Amino acid sequence: MDINRFERRDAFEWHIPPSGNMRVPAVIYADEALISAMDDKVYEQVTNVATLPGIVKASYAMPDAHWGYGFPIGGVAAFDANQGGVISAGGVGFDISCGVRTLLTGLTHAQLEGHESHLADVLYRHIPVGLGSKGEIALNPREMDAMLGGGARWAVAGGYGTPADLERIEEQGAMADARPDYVSERAKTRQKQEMGTLGSGNHYLEVQQVVEVFDAHVADVFGLHRGEVVVSIHCGSRGLGHQLGTEFLRDMAAAAPEQGIVLPDRELACVRIESELGKRYLGAMRAAINCAFANRQIITHLVREAFVRFFPEARLELLYDVSHNTCKREDHRVEGHMQSLFVHRKGATRAFGPGHADLPDTFSAIGQPVLIGGSMGTSSYILVGTSESEARAFSSACHGAGRAMSRHAARRRWRGRQLVDELAERHIQIRSPSSRGVAEEAPGAYKDVRAVVESAERAGLARRVARLEPIVCVKG
Amino acid sequence: MDARNWEHFEHEADIGLAATSDSRERLFEAMGAALSAVITDPAIVRPRQRVRIRCSAPDNALLMVDWINALIYEMATRGMIFGRFAVTIEDSRLSAKAWGEAVDVGRHHPAAEVKGATYTALRVSRQDDGEWLAQCVIDV
Distances A185 to A153, A173, A191, B87 between C-alpha atoms, Å: 23, 24, 10, 26
CATH of A3-404+446-475, one of 3.30.1050.10, 3.40.50.300, 3.90.1860.10, 3.90.650.10: 3.90.1860.10
Query: What 3-state DSSP class applies to B98?
Result: strand
- Is the model's pLDDT at B2 over the cut of 70? no
- Is the model's pLDDT at B102 over the cut of 90? yes
* 3-state SS record for A95-114: CCCCEEEEEEEEEEHHHHCC
Average pLDDT over residues A262-279: 94
Q: Say which CATH number the domain at B74 has.
A: 3.55.10.10
pLDDT tens, residue by residue, A2-61? 999 999 999 999 999 999 999 999 999 999 999 999 989 999 999 999 999 999 999 999
8 Å CB contact of A131 and B119: no
Residues above pLDDT 70, as percent of chain B = 96
- Is the model's pLDDT at A230 over the cut of 80? yes
Please compute, for residue A308, the number of CA atoms within 13 A of its CA located in the half-sphere on the CB side.
Answer: 10
pLDDT tens, residue by residue, A429-446? 999 988 888 998 999 988
Averaged confidence pLDDT in chain A = 95
Average pLDDT over residues A383-395: 97
The distance of Cα A267 from the centroid of its chain, to the nearest Å, equals 20
Instruction: Please report, to the nearest 10 degrees, the dihedral formed by the alpha carbons of residues A392, A397, A401, A404 taken in order.
Output: -40
pLDDT tens, residue by residue, A284-337? 999 999 999 999 999 999 999 999 999 999 989 999 999 999 999 999 999 999
Distance from CA of A300 to the nearest CA of B (A): 22
Interface test with A, best of B44, B53, B71, B119 (most A CBs within 10 A): B119
Which value does ipTM take for this structure?
0.93
A99 close to A238: Cβ distance less than 8 angstroms: no
Which DSSP helix (H) or strand (E) runs through B35? helix B24-39
- Nearest-CB residue to A94 (from B65, B76, B139): B139
Distance from CA of B65 to the nearest CA of A (A): 9
Instruction: Please report, to the nearest 10 degrees, the dihedral formed by the alpha carbons of residues A112, A116, A119, A124 taken in order.
Output: 150
Residues of chain B positioned with their CB less than 8 A from the CB of A419: none
B140: amino acid identity, one letter: V
Query: What pairs with residue B32 in β-bridges?
Result: none
pLDDT confidence band for B120 (50 / 70 / 90):
confident
* 3-state SS record for chain A: CCHHHCEEEECCEEEECCCCCCCCCEEEECCHHHHHHCCHHHHHHHHHHCCCCCECCCEEEEEEEECCCCCCEEEEEEECHHHCCEEECCCCCCCCCCEEEEEEEEEEHHHHCCCHHHHHHHHHHHCCCCCCCCCCCCCCHHHHHHHHHHHHHHHHHCCCCCHHHHCCEHHHHCCCCCCHHHCCHHHHHHHCCCCCCCCCCCCEEEEEEEEEECCHHHHHHHCCCCCEEEEEEEECCHHHHHHHHHHHHHHHHHHHHHCCCCCCCHHHCEEECCCHHHHHHHHHHHHHHHHHHHHHHHHHHHHHHHHHCCCCCCCCEEEEEEECEEEEEEEEEECCEEEEEEEEEECCEECCCCCCCCCCHHHCCCCCEEEEECCCCCCEEEEEECCCHHHHHCCEECCECCECCCHHHHHHHCCHHHHHHHHHHCCCEEECCCHHHHHHCCHHHECCHHHHHHHHHHCCCEEEEEEEEEEEEEEC
Tell me if chain B has a CB within 8 Å of the CB of A437. yes
pLDDT confidence band for A466 (50 / 70 / 90):
very high
8 Å CB contact of B116 and A408: no
Q: Could you give the residue numbers annotated as active site of A?
A: 399
Residues above pLDDT 90, as percent of chain A = 89
8 Å CB contact of A267 and B115: no
What sign for the dihedral angle of Cα A128, A134, A137, A143? positive
* pLDDT in the model for residue B1: 37
How far, in Å, CA of A398 to CA of A418, rounded? 31
Residues above pLDDT 70, as percent of chain A = 100
* pLDDT in the model for residue B137: 93
* pLDDT in the model for residue A288: 98
Distances A249 to A252, A269, A291, A329, B59 between C-alpha atoms, Å: 5, 6, 19, 20, 16
- Is the model's pLDDT at A464 over the cut of 90? yes
* pLDDT in the model for residue A18: 98
Structural domain range at position B104:
5-139
How far, in Å, CA of A350 to CA of A372, rounded? 11
Residues of chain A positioned with their CB less than 8 A from the CB of B112: 131, 200-201, 407, 434, 436-437, 440
pLDDT confidence band for B3 (50 / 70 / 90):
very low
Domain count, chain B: 1
**Model-wide pTM > 0.90:** yes
* pLDDT in the model for residue A375: 84
- Is the model's pLDDT at B58 over the cut of 70? yes
Q: Find the residue in A nearest to B58 (Cα).
A: A254
Which range is least confidently modeled, A67-81, A137-151, B5-19, B83-97?
B5-19
CA end-to-end span of chain A: 33
Greater confidence (B15 vs A180) lies with A180
* pLDDT in the model for residue A330: 98
Query: What pairs with residue A346 in β-bridges?
Result: A75, A325
Tell me if chain B has a CB within 8 Å of the CB of A412. no
* pLDDT in the model for residue B35: 97
Tell me if chain B has a CB within 8 Å of the CB of A185. no
Residue A159 — left, alpha, or beta (φ > 0 → left; ψ -120 to 50 → alpha)? left
Domain spans of chain A, in order of start: 3-404+446-475
* Angle, alpha carbons A329-A332-A337 (nearest 5°): 130
Residues of chain B positioned with their CB less than 8 A from the CB of A408: 8-10, 15
Average pLDDT over residues B102-131: 92
* pLDDT in the model for residue B4: 58
The distance of Cα A200 from the centroid of its chain, to the nearest Å, equals 15
Interface A:B, Cβ pairs < 8 A: 109
